[in-house]
Amino acid sequence: MDHEQQVLVVHAGHRSEALQLREQILEISRKVYSPNHPDTLFAMLRLAQSYAEMDRAAEALKMREEVLELDLKLLGREHKYTLWAMADLGESYSVAGRWDEALKLMEEVVAVRGAVDGPENRNTLLATHLLASAYGNAARWNQALELNEKLLPLRRKVLGSDDPETLWTMANLAAAYDRAGRREDAIRLHEEVFQLRRQVLGAENRDTLGALTNLALSYRVAGRTSEANKLLAPRPIRAPGDSR
């Protein structure tokens, strides 16, 4: 089975099959290459991802620590495999509640990506998004807000305002403004997210409905109850072919 088929297996939800496949790939890679070959280390990283997806968090964390140690030693901190390993281990530390270690790794990924790939590279933008989300999950609200404020104009410039990744940053920043009590800033962004998601995804898409709910809640907190109620009011069901 080639790489494309592996991806299809995982996306189809066959995680157990994907796990077995990745175990086989790792075993073959160790025999054909060597335990410390870059392709073997990458195979270990993919297997660790399957462990994480199967809720085998301790095994994922242990393997990711091993991979990162070897990547740093053999490939250096700027190699793409090393940066992927850092990001994945940061995820494992987050799941384990080891926030200081998680954030230290994620901050390093952002710093190296920015230096090597540039601040507007998509990989740098993704790493920055993950770090901002981690700040929020770790209750470091001010850092999350400040980083999302820096990230949003970059994603608008590089990806466009209606790109899904830009919209996630916009929604995260709106939530950060809500938490900080900056009601008008929050509402302005919630309105934009809702309008763009409705335009791009359709009114019934779950992300659009989530944006609608967030906007309505923000209206209510700001005392704009009538606008919130109007958003949340049941809509009439149209008959097929009814264009009214």
Indicate whether 133 belongs to any domain.
Answer: no
E-assigned strand segments in the chain: none
Residue 10: other Cβ atoms inside 10 A: 18
The count of structural domains within the chain is 2
What distance in Å separates the CA atoms of residue 185 and residue 173, rounded to the nearest whole number? 9
Q: Mind giving me the DSSP string for 125-162? A: HHHHHHHHHHHHHTT-HHHHHHHHHHHHHHHHHHH-TT
Q: Report in angstroms the alpha-carbon separations of 66 from 48, 73, 82, 179, 199.
A: 10, 11, 11, 38, 46
Instruction: Name the more confident of 109 and 238.
Output: 109
pLDDT of 239: 53
Report pLDDT digits (tens) over 94-104: 999 999 999 99
81 and 24 within one domain:
yes
Q: What is the pLDDT of residue 234?
A: 80
Range of the domain at 201: 147-233
29-51: pLDDT as tens digits: 999 999 999 999 999 999 999 99
Task: State residue 242's pLDDT score.
Answer: 55
Indicate the pLDDT class of residue 124, thresholds 50, 70 and 90. very high
The pTM for the full model equals 0.85
Q: In CATH, what number is assigned to the domain containing residue 206?
A: 1.25.40.10
Q: What is the mean pLDDT of the chain?
A: 91
Q: Tell me, yes or no, whether 79 lies in a domain.
A: yes
**Residues 103 and 176 occupy one common structural domain:** no
- Locus of tokens 């990230």: 151
- Examine residue 130 and state whether it is found in any structural domain, yes or no: no
pLDDT at 236 over 70: no
In a domain, 132, yes or no: no
